[in-house]
Structure 1
Amino acid sequence: MALLFFLILAFCTGPALLESSARVRLVRGPHRCEGRVEVERNGQWGTVCDDGWDMNDVDVVCRELGCGAALKTPSGNLYKPLAEEDQKVLIQWVNCSGMENELTECEQVEDVFDCTHKEDAGAMCEKSPPRVRLVGGRHHCEGRVEVERNGQWGTVCNNGWDKKGAHVVCRELGCGAAVGTPSGNLYKPLAEDQKVLIQWVNCNGMENELTECEQVEDGFDCPHKEDAGVMCVLPETVRLFGGPGRCKGRVEVKHQGQWGTVCKAGWNLSAAKVVCRQLGCGKAILTKRCCNRDTQGKNFIWLSEVSCSGEEESLQDCPSALWGENNCTHADDMWVECEDPFDLRLVEGDTLCSGRLEVLHKGEWGSVCDDGWGKKEEQVVCKQLGCGKSTFLSSKARKKFVPGVGRIWLDDVRCSGKEQSLEHCQHRFWGHHNCNHKEDVAVNCSEQSSGLLHVSPDPLRP
C-alpha cells in the first residue's frame, strides 16, 4: 500500500518536479560558450551568485552546454548590459566536484539571502567548433554546405533546401543574415570524392544548429550536382580601419556594439593571417605596430595577449586576455596589410573620382548593372575609393560615359550605406544578371577627401 501511495504521489507531482528542473545558459558574451551564468526555474531565468564559484563549477557548465574545456571564472559583471535589477538571483551557492553532467547535480543553496547582481558568476569555455561549414566561397560565410559526421566531412543535398535552412547555417556559423541559396556547384573545386551525408533537410528557420532540423541522412540518390550552397552576410566583427582600402589598416574588433583596437602584446603574423582570412582578403603581407597620433585609436582597447595558430576562422576564436583587460596604450595599436582580391575603379571619367564603375573579381575587371542602384550604393563606392561625398548622377548624366565591354559582374546591388566595401553589400551571385552594358553604373564623387585615394593599376591600359 505504501508503494502504491508513493507511485500515485510521484505520478501526481511529476509535472511540477519536471517544471522546476534547471537549465543553464551564458549570456552577453562573444559567443554562446562565454558570458554571465543564468539558470532557469519554472520558466524564469535568473543569475547565480559567485559564492563558492570555481573552475569545477565552470567545468560542469561547459559540459552541460556542449562547449569545450573550461578556461576561466570571470565576473558576470564583465558582460554588458548588466542583469536587470528586477531579475532574480536564483542560486546563492554552488559546489560541484567537476564530474557532474549538469549544474542541477551539484550541491547548491537556492534560498538567496545576501547576494546582489554585483556578485553574479561568469564562465568562459572554449568555443565548440560548429559541425557545419561553407567551403569554396570568398570567406567563411559563403560556399558549399558541408557537415561533419564521425570526423568525416560531406555535402548536403538540395532536396527541400531553402532560405530557412540557410538562415540556420548562417546563425550556427556566427555569420549575418542569409542572402542566397546558390548551387553548391558554383564553388570550386567540386566535392567529387566526398559522400553526400544528408539527403533532405527541413528547418523552420529558428533553430540554432542544423542538427536541430528535421533531416534524412545518407544521400542515397543525390549526386554532387545537387549539392546545397549558402550565401550569408559577412558580419563586421573585425575591420582594418584608416588605411587605403578595406584590406589595409589599424586592426579593430567590435565588442558590445563598440569598436576598439588590438594591442601588440602577443600579436604576430599568424594573427594577421586570421584577420585577412576573416575579411575575405588575400594573404597577410605585413603587420606592424601602428600609428602616429593622428591615426591611432581613440577609445577602447579591447584585445591583448592574442595567441593565434593562424588556422582559426576568426580572431574571436583565438585565445586572448579578457575583453578590455590590458595595460596597453593606443601607441601599441596594431596595423595589418593583406592582399585584396576584390578591387574597384572608376574609368573613362574626367577625374580619378568619377567614371564608369568597374570591379575586379577573379582577376578580371567587369562592370556593375544599375538595377536598384542609388545614393547609398554610390556612397559606399566613394568612401572605399577615398574620394569625397557622392554627387548622385541622373540616368541622363550617366549616359555620357562610354559603356563597358566584356563582363558584367554585379547586379541588384543593395547597400545600407555603412559598408566599408561594395563587396559587403547584398547582390546577385557574381556574373548573374539580366542587363546589358547600356545599364552600366557610373559614379561621381565630389573630391578626394583624405589623401588616401586608392588607384587600382590597370594592366590592360597604358
Structure 2
Amino acid sequence: MALLLFLVLAIGIRPGFLEFPSGVRLVGGPHRCEGRVEVEWKGQWGTVCDDGWRMEEVAVVCRELGCGQAKSSPSGLLYSSSTENMPNILIQTVDCRGMEDTLAQCKLEDVFDCSREEAAGASCENPESVRLVGGPTHCEGRVEVQHQGQWSTVCNTGWNLRAAKVVCRQLGCGRALLTHKQCNKASQGQGPIWMSQISCSGQEAALQDCHLGLWEKNNCTHDEDTWVECEGAFELRLVGGDSHCSGRLEVLHRHVWGSVCDDGWGEKEDQMVCKQIGCGRSLSSSNKARKSYGPGVGRIWLDDVRCSGEEQSLEQCRHRFWGYHDCTHKEDVAVICSE
C-alpha cells in the first residue's frame, strides 16, 4: 500500500485515476494532426481540461501521434459546433516536460472542477505523404503523394480497391467505397506524375508501405489520374433527448445524418453506442427508448447491426451496406445512457 501511495504521489494523480490513458487522438480538425485532444481511459474517450495546457503538452501529443512539430495550443471549442456533443472531461491537469514520448508519461490529475468549455486542443504539423484533393471532403478526391517536397498525382496503372483501402486508413477516413480508374477532365491534376504500378495487400498502414514502382518512371498522362472515395470519419449522435447521452440514434454518412434500424439490435449494440460517445453504460433497452423519442425522418442508413462487444466503435460492428434496409422509421434505434 505504501508503494502504491508513493507511485500515486510521484506521477501526480489522485486515487481513483490510477490507470494511465490507453490512447490519445485529435478530433474535429482539418486533419488527424490538429483538433480537440481526447484520451481513452477504460474504453471511454473523453476530453482534457485546458488548465495548465501549454506547448510542452502539445509537443508530447504531436510526438505520440507521429505528427511532427507542435504548432499551437488552441481551444478545443474551435473543433466542435456544440459543447453538448463533446464527450466528458476525463483529465483535469496534464503536466509534461515536453520530452515524454506519450501523454501517459506526464503527470496527470483526475477531474475535480472543469467544464466542457475548457477542453484543450492541439495543432501539429501535418506530415502526411498522401492526400485526396478536388473532392467535397478530405476523404474523397484525386490521389496525390508528396515526393521531394512537391505534391503530384498517382497513375492508376496497377491501382485497385486494396490500395484505396490503405489510403482511406492512412487519412483517418472510413472504409473505401469506390476507386475510379481515372478522373474526369475537370478533376485531373497538373505537373509531374510521381507514382504508378502500386501493389498493396490492403493491410498496410500507409501507402509508402506498399510495393511501389519507380518514382517518375512511367508513361502515364493526367487522363489516368486516380480518384478515391472513402467513407467519412465515423460519427454518431443521440438526438431528441434531455442531453447528448439519450435520444434517437443517428449516424453521419455522405454529409447526411440518418437513423439506424433496430433489426438485430440489442444490449451489446446499446453499450457500444454509450461507450463510443463517452456516456457510460446503457440504462434502458432500445425497445423502451424508441417509444420515448418517436420516429425519425429522412434516411435510414444502417440495418442488421451486430456487435460482438469487442469492437472499439459501432463502425467496426457488422451491418448491411449503407442505405440498404427493409425498415420504416417506426423501427429507429434509440438509446439511453448513464451519462
When normalised by structure 1's length, the TM-score is: 0.38
Q: Which has the larger radius of gyration?
A: 1
Structure possessing the higher relative contact order (Cα contacts under 8 Å, 6 or more residues apart) = 2
